[in-house]
Amino acid sequence: MKKYAQLTREELLALEEQLLAEFKEEQAKNLSLNMARGKPGKAQLELAMPMLDVLNHAADMNTILGNDTRNYGDLDGIGECRRLIAAMMEVQKDNVIVCGNSSLNIMYDTVARSMLFGVNGSTPWCKLEKVKFLCPVPGYDRHFKITEQFGIEMINIPLSETGPDMDLVEQYVNNDPAVKGIWCVPKYSNPTGISYSDETVLRFANLKPAAEDFRIYWDNAYCIHHLYDDQHDVILNILTECEKAGNPDMVYIFASTSKISFPGSGVAAIASSINNIQNILNIMTVQTIGHDKINQLRHVRFFKDIDGLNAHMKKHSDILRPKFEAVLNTLQEELGDLGIGTWIAPRGGYFITFDSMPGCAKKIVALCKELGVVLTSAGATYPYGKDPQDTNIRIAPSFPSPEEMAMASKVFVLCVKLASVQKLLGKF
């Protein structure tokens, strides 16, 4: 098949007619499929059900140190859970606070604390004229919603297959004292699936921020969320590299077991330098007496150690891989040669990113919706919901079954084709 751009007007019109006919057929199927959010599917949720058995009425509820997990205390989390999560985050136990069920909530609170109290003694951001965050794009919509809610100005930074454009990051961070942070998903990035190269991580660690209270918000959401047994992305340890570079306090790392045990009932954590951790605890001690330690203990008793976590993640990947492949195969088969879209085959994480011809993403999402396939809103992967080129679409293959995923992918490529043809015909 020829590239769409090389087709004549007549060929395009004929193609449109054919696609519209297919569109009608699909419409008649009354599908109802959701590829909008990175929600684990039912089979994945079943994997962790035995976790509910490890603590029963007769269980020993004490930590190794003898603290009763059922009572108040242990603001920073129980020791054995800090150790488990530290191993996952590739840091030491004392660098970690294990909190509640949501790393998003920890990120929110971390920014909120900075707004209200500053960072380790700096001026509270709410007292400043202007606070800016750098936002590698496309990125995670919920990061952008946080900074937007706090009135923080967001600056787009293009993300390539090796990470954010570091020339631009350095230029902003090292020169503008209003730049206080950057959102990063360094591994199996949301939504593009790429992992930061060693050079990228090193350049991050070696930033010379104009603002003393600049921090890297390193959301390592997919740290052990590989899709393939034999092809893991590996990224450099940002905490270690920051230390080496003389910037020990420059990074906050976030992670959770939301996509390991249960979304909403996992454990989430922040890791950072001992100095930062102490500063956080000094404020957090007023916010709460402590987090859910029984759930922390449940996680430790079930997963035991990092090997247990990794073995469990292999089961997840066995479920996820066919879904990702269903999408990727369909994209390759149906769109491979047409020049109307590009995508990245990720080695982990929860998303496949798709870039349409300029100006087509919104249209594609709308067409899919007409056929009963819900995608993340076009634009959501950009600050303020504004994708300047209107090209990026985030596909979340995890929730539907592989069969549903195959159906949804067919719908998706049909809509990509139709939108592209109509775009080339100047119809929108």
Residues that bind a second copy (CB under 8 A): 37, 39-40, 42, 45, 48-50, 52-53, 55-59, 61, 68-73, 100-102, 104-105, 108-109, 112, 115-117, 124, 126-127, 142, 145-146, 148-150, 258, 262-265, 283, 286-295
Identity of the amino acid at 415:
C
- Least separation in angstroms between residue 287's CB and a second copy is 4
Q: Which is nearer to a second copy, 36 or 236 (CB)?
A: 36
Q: Which is nearer to a second copy, 6 or 57 (CB)?
A: 57
- Least separation in angstroms between residue 368's CB and a second copy is 21
Q: How far apart are CA 329 and CA 302, in angstroms?
A: 36
Q: Which is nearer to a second copy, 30 or 56 (CB)?
A: 56
Query: What 3-state class would DSSP assign to 399?
Result: coil
Q: Which is nearer to a second copy, 106 or 424 (CB)?
A: 106
DSSP 150-190: TT-EEEEEEEETTEE-HHHHHHHHHH-TTEEEEEE--SS-T
Q: Which is nearer to a second copy, 53 or 229 (CB)?
A: 53
Q: Which is nearer to a second copy, 149 or 171 (CB)?
A: 149
Q: Is the dihedral of CA 283, 288, 290, 294 positive or negative?
A: negative
Across 289-409, where does the E strand assignment appear?
341-343, 352-356, 373-375, 392-395
- Least separation in angstroms between residue 75's CB and a second copy is 10
Contact 259/38 with Cβ under 8 angstroms? yes
- Least separation in angstroms between residue 259's CB and a second copy is 10
Contact 300/80 with Cβ under 8 angstroms? yes
* Nearest C-alpha neighbor of 210 from the set 108, 109, 126, 131: 131
- Least separation in angstroms between residue 154's CB and a second copy is 14
- Kind and range of the H or E element at 136? strand 132-137
- Least separation in angstroms between residue 64's CB and a second copy is 17
